[in-house]
Structure 1
């Protein structure tokens, strides 16, 4: 038996928003397990992060087949913690996973074939020890596989009961409209899209967000803090222990130019004027858009979850703040 008893007031701690035109509501913050949940990471820290998130009403935990390292280990660890701490609360959770990036050797372990997508889902369910996930995504479009094949596999995952809803990630507006149309024809609506979106990467705004409104899908941005750029960590330069300070990783030190640092400091000043941290402000900036259902955050420490969650108490950004952000980013 688990010694964990969730906070009784957890559902009063956060707002929930309807996902597109579906019946599903998601918390305004979701916890991603891309980093810090692999086999190389400390399990007790993972337990603390999941418990704290749930205590704050964050009911949505997001995974993918290849999250680790090593690939698959995030799902294995999550499954272990789910059994130990959350088994009695499974129906209060939204668990998502994905297939689309390289997972195993050979021609059937990557991209978007029916063979890969459904085999990957079965492996994910086995690693987590659950009969279904709430949301199953195709993680990226496959230029070599007909979209009909990939979307039919997603629809069949839902119809077989192995997933409750279907999503896509990293699709552009044209691909998203086409995917949604195919899924609709198969009787399985497109629930949600997961794109990268933050102050430094606004590619979704001109075309993708309007397309999501058109097809009735929700949006869950990942990398809302631009791999840590939109936090207080880089106000004085590049710390040695930061992601940008490491030789491997997605955030390269060379990308943090004096001009970028000047923008970070300018955004920090705007956040400070309302008493917010830069991370809190960056999440509020995303939530200014009605298309955004929930923001997918990552965390290595409980305090990071607490910080961003506390930012939700602030009122929405004003028109003046939004204009000022645009000016800083254009500078």
Structure 2
């Protein structure tokens, strides 16, 4: 069946300017970190991506290592793009990254010029694209000079293989240094992608100030704390959930009784606002306009629909914000 995008796709979504650039991003973007790899069902991935686009999500975020196996998320997205979304390419912002392990030997990860540029070429082949809209350095390299990595990013823009560049998981100090280098090169930093949620607020310790001072946008990954800020773990760790699986970033040890008490209290507050816990969490992440976009993941279409519905109620009273702070700072909530 030939896909035709909904005529109403821009009626619900809110679009925020990315820093001081000319680019706007949807308040909620879709990340393909999980559930879009070679081990996942193609039709489910297609259904999620096309439904997201119908609901106004124009930004799709990838990385070279997303899968599993690594590279397969870009391949899946490339197939869906070719089959369904090619007529809408200019309505979309497609991003990818380089930084994590991709191939054996000394040139297969981190931030050398050789790795960064080779990785982007491979990503473009998997995606079937001539360029991506945003290309990120996925993580800072402790051994490669920052100047080398930034020169490589600058080259991707000058060669026409990326329109904008971004950083992910760089500290405030590293970001400040990168901004200065890129300003000297003449290719400004568009955006930073840090982890950020009610349970992970490290960017409030200086990074947000650096981004605001320099007119740089931000897109928060894991705004739902890998599912902890949903109804999934309110009553324990369900069998088959991500936390129940071995060797995952979300382990049982992180979902402590204290954390469960906090998320149950937050869930009660969400209910009083007529929202799910996930919707409350996304609204909180976007509060105050400091975050350009919240980057969600999904395993089914209904999750995308639920998350976008958060945009119908993003305002907080002062009492609600104070209640959230109390919940997050109190060790024991009954």
TM-score bin, normalised by smaller chain: over 0.9
The alpha-carbon deviation at position 290 of structure 1 amounts to 2.0
2:287 matched residue in structure 1: 288
Provide closer, same or farther for how the CA distance between residues 289 and 205 of structure 1 changes in structure 2, counting only shifts above 3 A: farther
The alpha-carbon deviation at position 78 of structure 1 amounts to 0.5
> Given the two structures, how large is their TM-score scaled by the length of structure 2?
0.98
- State the SS of the aligned residue for 1:30: strand
* Separation in structure 2 between the aligned mates of residue 172 and residue 216 of structure 1, nearest angstrom: 16
* Separation in structure 1 between the aligned mates of residue 118 and residue 256 of structure 2, nearest angstrom: 43
Contact 1:212 / 1:291 at 8 angstroms: preserved in 2? no
Equivalences, count:
330
The 5-angstrom pairing of residues 84-103 of structure 1 reads 84-103=83-102
The 5-angstrom pairing of residues 70-149 of structure 1 reads 70-149=69-148
* Separation in structure 1 between the aligned mates of residue 102 and residue 172 of structure 2, nearest angstrom: 26
**1:233-268 per-position Cα deviation (integer Å, ceiling 9, x unaligned):** 111111012111112211111221111100010100
Residue 18 in 1 paired to residue 17 in 2?
A: yes
The 5-angstrom pairing of residues 111-260 of structure 1 reads 111-260=110-259
* Gaps in structure 1 of 5+ consecutive residues: none
1:306 matched residue in structure 2: 305
* Separation in structure 1 between the aligned mates of residue 254 and residue 57 of structure 2, nearest angstrom: 32
* Separation in structure 1 between the aligned mates of residue 236 and residue 142 of structure 2, nearest angstrom: 39
* Separation in structure 2 between the aligned mates of residue 110 and residue 289 of structure 1, nearest angstrom: 36
Q: Which runs of 4+ in 1 moved over 4 A?
A: none
* Separation in structure 2 between the aligned mates of residue 5 and residue 126 of structure 1, nearest angstrom: 25
Contact 2:231 / 2:278 at 8 angstroms: preserved in 1? yes
* Separation in structure 1 between the aligned mates of residue 253 and residue 235 of structure 2, nearest angstrom: 15
- State the SS of the aligned residue for 1:11: coil
Contact 2:15 / 2:27 at 8 angstroms: preserved in 1? yes
- State the SS of the aligned residue for 2:94: strand
**1:24-78 per-position Cα deviation (integer Å, ceiling 9, x unaligned):** 0000000000000100000000000001100000000000000000000000110
2:328 matched residue in structure 1: 329
Computed over aligned residues only, the root mean square deviation of the Cα atoms, in angstroms, reads 0.8
* Separation in structure 2 between the aligned mates of residue 193 and residue 156 of structure 1, nearest angstrom: 18
The alpha-carbon deviation at position 184 of structure 1 amounts to 1.1
1:38 matched residue in structure 2: 37
- State the SS of the aligned residue for 1:12: coil
- State the SS of the aligned residue for 1:300: coil
Contact 1:66 / 1:72 at 8 angstroms: preserved in 2? yes
- State the SS of the aligned residue for 1:220: strand
